A and B are shown apart, each in its own frame.
Chain A
């Protein structure tokens, strides 16, 4: 189902959790809401589910205005970070709960309910564990049961709140891929909240980056990473370095440097900041390199990371050097010229 969110507002006392959020979710899409804690991503998810009331704006499910519908009427499949399985019920009864709760005239026969619940458990590969209690399952298994339970009501949309947040790293990565498969097989419109950028970039069709109750950027994972729309997105997604400086006659000149770099796109003169990723920096600069001193060299599995102090800047830069057997790694204290292949410049407000 297509979901349209128009100018959503939510306040907790004087604190604004959502400030005019607009978002169109296409039918069948897998969307990630990505942001730091307090950015409003969970509030947005809960508002879509009807677990939070909103102070302004509209939520539409297809052609239907869902803004004032109750939680039950919205029929969303919600998956909680800590699973929220009913601990006194068997796995099968957990999955059957949504069908079991329907009023008598809409309720399938008991055998039919069990058959459908078992189908879903088979889909999440847990049919063998149908008689266990939630306590007797691992975290990853519990989350799969929670997803099966949410799908049992044939939801208008699947909403997942930090679904892998409570799992260890290895299980996270497995479940991530598995969720993508389930999504592709069932076609449910799915929105999940995460603060893990790897998860968002790997899993989602589109990523919504949120900050301080607003949407910073909506785009495919590639767009978000290669064309960050704001300084916040550049800084929050992936590793980045920042240079302070000024735009002067169409060129960016870092503070404390005499050389300047061309602007990727035209900007008005004034104070500005330049963002660049560590793997887009290079040492074989021609005549536009910035003067810098190597501060520290760190070895990683697949690269060296140079921490370099650019003259006139207050924080050191990280610079990736691919590991070649014959390449010479600069020692701390060495003087260098640092150039960049790709960067973005934003005017400072």
Chain B
């Protein structure tokens, strides 16, 4: 009998301490240690070496390209995601279950396979390869290929965030707007969109984080041309393979900081507007 255990429904103190300790150790070892290692390695030869590594033209080009790809892919998926979620949650049609399954496809397929598919379709030896070469259109080993692969991989984020949220909200708000004389477009703009704004922001945030960090699919279609088709994650890998550890970790800190920023914004959203997020109910 442990007298210090006040409530009959809690575990004994030694067990609680053991479980909490184990959880903390796990988090420290698997999450905090690697994060710290990135920054320690990046600053191993001092701040100047770190900043020089970031100022290097190929690194800057990789940063620009990453932002460009995310800057195209995220707005596209915002539009696709909202359309798909609106269609699925507010309408009934044949093949709806199939569409819902297809939206999850990018999550279930290995990113490398996704990349390969685009190479097979648009590559020099692919289905449209000869036609594309004839018309001098470059998709694979060029920016359009990177965008395509990123759009595919990050497609589910916005839609999956919005579908449960919109399903839970139901159709009554929209129907009410219609009976009051609003057109379909007015209803979407003034009722549907405001109802999902925080969920949408959340989905875009996750989508953006993945678009910036995507490696597998992008790696296949990129061709790793320095200064041209290297995104940040690919650039990190190249530097690492060349034993340029300081530069590799320096560039990696950029990705780590982007990730921390995303986490921070995500936590802020959940804290301030949690009741308007579907994710909160799911997690």
Which residues of A line the B interface, CB within 8 A? 49-51, 71-72, 74-78, 80, 82, 84-88, 97-98, 101-102, 146, 149-150, 152-153
Interface residues of B in 170-207 (CB under 8 A from A): 172-173, 175-183, 186, 190-191, 194-195
A-B contacts, 30 of them at CB < 8 A, read: A71-B179, A72-B178, A75-B181, A76-B179, A77-B179, A78-B179, A80-B172, A80-B175, A84-B176, A86-B173, A86-B176, A86-B177, A86-B190, A86-B191, A86-B194, A87-B173, A88-B195, A97-B177, A97-B180, A98-B180, A98-B182, A101-B177, A101-B183, A101-B186, A101-B190, A102-B181, A149-B176, A150-B180, A153-B180, A153-B181
Cα separation A292 to B31 with both chains bound (whole Å): 80
Query: A97, B182: Cβ atoms under 8 Å?
Result: yes
Shortest Cβ distance from residue B94 to the other chain A in the assembled complex, whole angstroms: 12
What is the size category of the interface that chain B forms with chain A?
A: 10 to 19
B positions within 8 Å CB-CB of A = 172-173, 175-183, 186, 190-191, 194-195
The chain A residue with its CB closest to the CB of B180 is: A98
**Which residue of the partner chain A has the closest CB to B193?**
A88
CB of A94, distance to nearest CB on chain B (Å): 9
User: CA of A150 to CA of B191 in the docked complex: distance in angstroms?
Assistant: 16
* Residue of B with least CB distance to A51: B175
Chain A residues with CB below 8 A from B173, complex form: 84, 86-87
Looking at chain B's contact residues, is the secondary structure mostly helix, strand, loop, or mixed?
Answer: helix
A86-B191, A87-B195, A88-B194 as given contacts; A149 in contact with B180, CB under 8 Å: yes
Among A75, A88, A152, chain B packs the most CB atoms within 10 A around the CB of A88
- Which residue of B has the minimal Cβ distance to A98? B180
A347→B271 CA distance, assembly (Å): 66
Known interface pairs A72-B181, A80-B172, A97-B180; 18 further A-B residue pairs with C-beta atoms within 8 A, sorted by A's residue number: A50-B179, A71-B175, A71-B178, A72-B178, A78-B175, A78-B179, A84-B172, A86-B176, A86-B177, A86-B191, A87-B173, A87-B195, A88-B195, A97-B177, A97-B182, A101-B177, A149-B176, A152-B180
Q: How far is the CA of A115 from the CA of B81 in the complex (A)?
A: 40
Q: Which residues of chain B have C-beta atoms less than 8 A from A150's C-beta? A: 179-180
